[in-house]
Amino acid sequence: MTENLPISRALNAGLRRALGTNDRVLLMGEDIGPLGGVFRVTEGLQKEFGPRRVIDSPLAESGIVGTAIGLAMGGFRPVLEIQFDGFVFPAFDQITSQLAKITNRHEGAVRMPVVIRIPYGGHIGAVEHHQESPEAYFTHTAGLRVVSPSNANDAYWMIQQAIDSPDPVVFLEPKAKYWQKGEVDLEAPALPLHASRIVRRGTDVTLVGHGAMVTTLLQAAALAESEGTSCEVIDLRSLSPVDYGPLLDSVRRTGRMVYAQEAPGFTSLGSEIAATVMEKAFFALEAPVLRVSGFDVPFPPAKLEGTYLPDADRILEAVDRSLAY
């Protein structure tokens, strides 16, 4: 059984199923109750499950995460919504100093099944603190799992898999794609939570990215094909841990790789992946791994986001450079 849903409604359906399946699942966040959240991801859930399961919290991100830590210790599975990516930083200490370390601190005796949902990324013309890509902070933090769906089917299943995880999961939702529709298989997940996926087969260059960037990579691959270049596209899906198997297999076939991300390039997830692929597939590479990223400056005003964010043309320029070696 399948249903055609935008990513926001797929997330809503996944949360509804998790709430209905396990009465220890709770949702917490700012304006997630009657309003349904800024992006309406939780719309209707408080009416269906009540204010003790879908909790409108104070405007205090640190308090939301701190409360969730206590709830997890008490046997609950809190799912938190951070309203916008840039608002996660008031809770950064709770996430990185406490949530990520408690299980290790207690030698595995205390689990932290907490999911932190964060709408992230650009392309919505928003103001400062509303278009961040903070994934590197969390992938750098041992003890956290970090994932990001790029399509509706993954959104539906990955949110449920994240809730089922015994460890804390930072769940990054590409806000620019909330209204992008796709077929959702309501019967079974296609992949485990931490598996990467080939979304387009190709022979000449491997293109890798996550979240909203996957759509841009597919656009670049289609343009490259019209010029006679065959690009393989891989959706990373899991940012920590990274499933390197499909990436390395692909690079060993194509001999080239371009990694694209919205975040700035310096000390980023793309830096780590490029280094690892260079280490593990060095003798298969015909060219260095190239990276396309946001620039190493704060996210600009909305009228300049089109210049700041990688687009298909910037990715194609990297493809051309890779093929020129």
**In which band, very low, low, confident or very high, does the pLDDT at 8 lie, cut at 50, 70 and 90?**
very high
- Within 2-141, strands assigned E span 2-6, 25-29, 54-56, 77-81, 115-120
User: Average pLDDT, whole number, for the chain?
Assistant: 96
Helix, strand or coil for residue 37?
Answer: coil
Helix, strand or coil for residue 121?
Answer: coil
> What's phi and psi for 35, nearest 5 deg?
-70, -35
CATH no. of 2-185:
3.40.50.970
* The one catalytic residue among 130, 140, 194, 210: 130
Helix, strand or coil for residue 249?
Answer: helix
Distance CA 117, CA 39 (A): 12
Distance CA 148, CA 95 (A): 18
pLDDT at position 294: 95
Q: Is the pLDDT of residue 130 over 90?
A: no
Q: Is the pLDDT of residue 21 over 90?
A: yes
Q: Is the pLDDT of residue 281 over 80?
A: yes
**In which band, very low, low, confident or very high, does the pLDDT at 262 lie, cut at 50, 70 and 90?**
very high
**Per-residue pLDDT averaged across 257-276, rounded?**
97
Q: What is the pLDDT of residues 179-235, one digit of tens each?
A: 999 999 999 888 999 999 999 999 999 999 999 999 999 999 999 999 999 999 999
Residue 319 and residue 232 in contact, taking contact as beta carbons nearer than 8 Å:
no
Distance CA 99, CA 107 (A): 14
Q: Is the pLDDT of residue 124 over 80?
A: no
* Six-digit token string for 107: 């030698």
Distances in whole angstroms, Cα of residue 65 to Cα of each of 108, 121, 172, 295? 20, 21, 16, 30
Q: What is the pLDDT of residues 133-179, one digit of tens each?
A: 999 999 999 999 999 999 999 999 999 999 999 999 999 999 999 99
Among candidate residues 187, 185, 143, the one with its CA nearest the CA of residue 165:
143
Q: Is the pLDDT of residue 127 over 80?
A: no
**Per-residue pLDDT averaged across 44-68, rounded?**
96
Distance CA 96, CA 47 (A): 33
Looking at the chain, the domain(s) classified CATH 3.40.50.970 span 2-185
pLDDT at position 169: 98
Q: Is 140 a catalytic residue?
A: no
Residue 139 and residue 146 in contact, taking contact as beta carbons nearer than 8 Å:
yes
Other residues' Cβ atoms within 10 Å of the Cβ of residue 273:
22
pLDDT at position 62: 96
Distance CA 95, CA 111 (A): 14
The pTM for the full model equals 0.96
Cis preceding-peptide flag for 241 (omega within 30 of 0): yes
Looking at the chain, the domain(s) classified CATH 3.40.50.920 span 197-324
Q: What is the pLDDT of residues 61-113, one digit of tens each?
A: 999 999 999 999 999 999 999 999 999 999 999 999 999 999 999 999 999 99
Q: Is the pLDDT of residue 24 over 90?
A: yes
Residue 8 and residue 41 in contact, taking contact as beta carbons nearer than 8 Å:
yes
* Six-digit token string for 314: 């910037």
pLDDT at position 190: 84
To the question of domain 197-324 being in CATH 3.30.56.10, the answer is no
pLDDT at position 126: 79
* The amino acid at 316: L
